[in-house]
Amino acid sequence: MMNKLQIIGAFVIAFCSVSLLNAQDATITVKPSKDAPTISKHIYGHFAEHLGRSIYDGFFVGKDSPIPNTDGVRNDLIEALKEIKIPNLRWPGGCFADTYHWKDGIGPQEDRPTIVNTWWGGVTEDNSFGTHDFLNLCEVLETEPYLAGNVGSGTVKELADWVQYVNHDGTSPMADLRKQNGREKSWGVTYWGVGNEMWGCGGNMEPEFYANLYRQYATFMGSWNNEAGLYRIASGANSADYNWTEVLMKNIPKSLLDGVALHHYSVIDWNKKGPDVDFTEDHYFTTMKSSLFMDQLITKHVAIMDKYDKKKEVDLVVDEWGGWYEVQEGTNPGFLYQQNTMRDAMIAGTTLNIFNNHSDRVKMANLAQTVNVLQAVALTKGEQMILTPTYHILKMYTVHHDAQLIPLDLDTPDYEYNGDTLPAISASASKDAEGKTHISLVNIDAHKENTVSIDLSALNIKDFSAEILASDKLQDHNSFEDPEHIMPEGFKDFKFKKGVLEVTLPAFSVVVLEGK
């Protein structure tokens, strides 16, 4: 038998062993470089498709609505988007773009034809929200419009006329039509998508066919006195379709190409996407595996781009990303309405860190979507509007807009589940124009806190402040009954001594630190 000392000794050894097993330490070393790229603010872009309650009953409630609005767009949403410094907004789709004919949405409301949204719910729309409404909204938001052109069911002339209509200040048929419709000065739209998902809903095309079609459309898209010129974006690959990127980069002259798109959603299984709120850890782990796959996707697509564009003249534009689950119970399956939980905060934080760290090539991205659809930043219900955990991440990350990337070396522990592992810690850092350093950290582990040690000796930082987004359960979310259940808070669980910052991250949390 063991005596008391032996028993106590055995207990201490066992306790220490468990503590060591639970101790999760990550290390980060910053490697500032004068040659590091700028993190374009356009990485933090948004997407508003004619889908479900995104435009109608989301953005647009109508000028006669009792809900306070500016030309029909709800004021609370406008103010919320200004708070996150929305840099660009993509419209009108998505799949909807390749069935949308822009002339149906201009001129007197009573003369506009209706349209059946065959992609999303089969609803009939009255075209009350069109080109003028969207571009005027972008002016109110002080954001860059990103127009997705109709290549799937449109014509070269139709897209060329749209460019002329919104960009030409002189005398021409389309400029005159715009003036007749009440807008004297052009809007000067820079960003143009030449079709959307041409491998799928845009026409089920082969990449070689689309590359030739793109060349034709892009050739006839004159800038029409837009001082910045046009930034033309080719419809890019579906996730890991590397051949699509290869064909486009090989077959389209760089003189006609400014960006190549990429679409990737954090989804469990396209046939069984799992619930939006009542998900299990198995659902969560699989979703995060799909989300973190974005890093590999970008690395491989960029390697292909580098073969044909060593000077990095063509950008990678991830103009659709986000979490995709089964719709909320009781809602129209074609409306893609889902709640937004701490899982979505994890997706947002890790994905934006990935974009930041690839900012030498990723110059633009668009979260899908802004309001009431997929991973929305806002949800509306009549006069009520709530801001989601994803919204708060985007607001916390505004510090990275147009700041210089600080490259990092990251050594992270694993998040282990059911015999599989994922990197638990995600991070990115930048230095802004005022000389402030910002570090964004995400711990995706569903159970364990992690300590992160950051060697900042290469930077002259004297003090830090921080905020955190965290909650008790991964399934937690903001609701119309409890709209501020999840909110950013001040964070103090860190130490800074002799150039080393030590941060203790709670399970499934996001922390943004500011050093100066």
Catalytic residue among 144, 197, 227, 467: 197
Catalytic residue among 320, 434, 484, 489: 320
Burial class (CB in 10 A: 0-12, 13-18, 19+), 330: exposed
Coil vs helix vs strand at 309: coil
Read off the tokens for 44: 């933090």
> What is the crossing angle of helices 242-251 and 281-308, to 10°?
20
Q: How far is CA 86 from CA 41, 257, 468, 510, in A?
A: 9, 25, 21, 20
How far is Cα of residue 137 from the mean position of the Cα atoms in its chain?
20
The yes-or-no answer on residue 434 being catalytic is no
Measure the N-to-C terminal CA separation of the chain; round to a whole number of Å: 60
Q: What is the dihedral of CA 331, 336, 337, 340, to 10 degrees?
A: 140
Read off the tokens for 314: 């063509």
> What is the crossing angle of helices 156-167 and 131-141, to 10°?
40
Q: How far is CA 58 from CA 89, 104, 120, 147, 455, in A?
A: 15, 21, 15, 19, 45
The yes-or-no answer on residue 197 being catalytic is yes
Unique residue bearing structure tokens 């033309």: 232
Nearest alpha-carbon partner for 94 in 50, 151, 138: 50
Nearest alpha-carbon partner for 469 in 493, 442, 436: 442
Coil vs helix vs strand at 47: strand
Its sign, for the CA torsion 32, 34, 36, 39, is positive
Read off the tokens for 202: 């845009």
Active site residue ranges: 197, 320
